[in-house]
Structure 1
Amino acid sequence: MNSVSSIDSPVFPSPDLRKVNVTRYVMPLREGGSLPALADADDGFSYVLKFKGAGQREKALIAELICGELARFLGFKVPELVFAELDEAFGRSEGDEEIQDLLKSSQGLNLGLHFLSKALTFDPGATVVDEWTASKLVWFDAWITNVDRTFRNTNLLVWNRELWLIDHGASLVFHHAWENYQRQISSSFPMISNHVLLPFATKLEEADHEMKSKLTEVVIKQVVDMVPDEWILAGRDTETAEEARKVYVDFLWSRLEQSFHFVNGAIDARKSLV
């Protein structure tokens, strides 16, 4: 069995993401309902493109950006995220009507993840993840309420013998029911019981202590501030983008301060497995 690692030292959030222009739609990646795609950009690199016109629309991109950059800050391996501009004329020659409609509704600013060529999908039966890494990742996903890191869909890749995190668009569940966000702050997040690495997460209390020592409200705010106003306002949840940003920061920071709820929930869920 292969062994992988994924934790480095924290990386302080950059003030903004790079912006690229999409030049070529290569192929759809038909995983899930959001129809991401492999695309080329004008910087010479390929990206997995997440479209604002798909599924959960801009909210999936917001969750992808916030959670991806928080994961990177905490030392996890995450492909570079970029703002990806889709020109008005892009996709007119696409023969698939579903894809053409998706491209039309996604004109403007989207999100791309650097494509990791020849990366392998994580197989828990073939790859060993150490207890410390597993505990930190289970902790992180419970904090951000990520429902999508399961045996069915691990959203983990192995590249250069290292574990890489992808696809956080299903996280931050609260922003789909905005008015109830305060009640979700103290949630134990029962869905953590489905986490692919939960059986190996034997050091959750230690992980809680270390991860909380790295995070500050300032760091969270810096990451949230990276989200474009247009994505936030598209949901029409608040009058201004600043109001919404305050909610995101409040949710994440308050949930961090009350982490015993989701840490104990994960510990109890693991006990039921072993």
Structure 2
Amino acid sequence: MKRFIPFMKSEPCVAVVRLQGVIASGSRGALSDRAVAASLSKAFKRGKPKAVALEINSPGGSPVQSALIASRIRRMADKHEVPVYAFVEDVAASGGYWLACAADEIHADRASVVGSIGVISATFGVHDFIQRNGIERRVYTAGESKSQLDPFKPEDPSDVARLNALLEEMHGIFIDHVKSSRGARLADDPRLFTGEFWAGQTAKELGLIDGIGHLEDVMRSKFGEKVTFRRYGQRKGLLSRFGASLVSDAVAGIEERAAYARFGL
């Protein structure tokens, strides 16, 4: 009520945006630029916040969606002149760490998993299986590279070479993003960009994060004990809230659990 009374000073407010889950476009419940756009817009615009705090718990995912979300955060932070703080919960790895690097400062718990600055592509090969079972694969293309990396054909070394070149290019983009964000805070350590990941304290020593601490404690130390928090997050669709699409939700849940499992979580 104070904020509506003239000449009366209101308590400082920090807007909190939760960024949780696998980063992907079009998947139910996943983090994507479209899914978080409304929450981020409200966080930066409503009530003149002293800061925006990002609660991050993500094992990564799409590099493009990671870049789009991070760019949106930086664009709005610069436009509204609001500082951004990232707080890592269980994990901010790969694309999750990409998001954290959109903040001016990154904090984590000692047990948080941070890093995995690399790019991965996973597929499978079943050509031996279909041959043993008398299955004939029929593919027709226009363009010599159109069927490259087909899991139903024997692996082609030239296809692998092209994929590795693509992954190296994307890895370079990721490295540039981290370096431009973290700058001189990064340690001179050859392990930083190998895809390795670390617990919070080691991540701090490597310069991947700025401190060990939790959201409310850190924000109170910066803005005072009377700071208030206004929380924003992704809203579930009407069907999701009533338990519809159970099969697709179950599949998405399995995929998400597998992504977290890569980091022992």
Structure with the greater alpha carbon radius of gyration: 2
Q: TM-score range by the shorter chain?
A: under 0.3
Q: TM-score, normalised by structure 1?
A: 0.25
Q: TM-score, normalised by structure 2?
A: 0.26
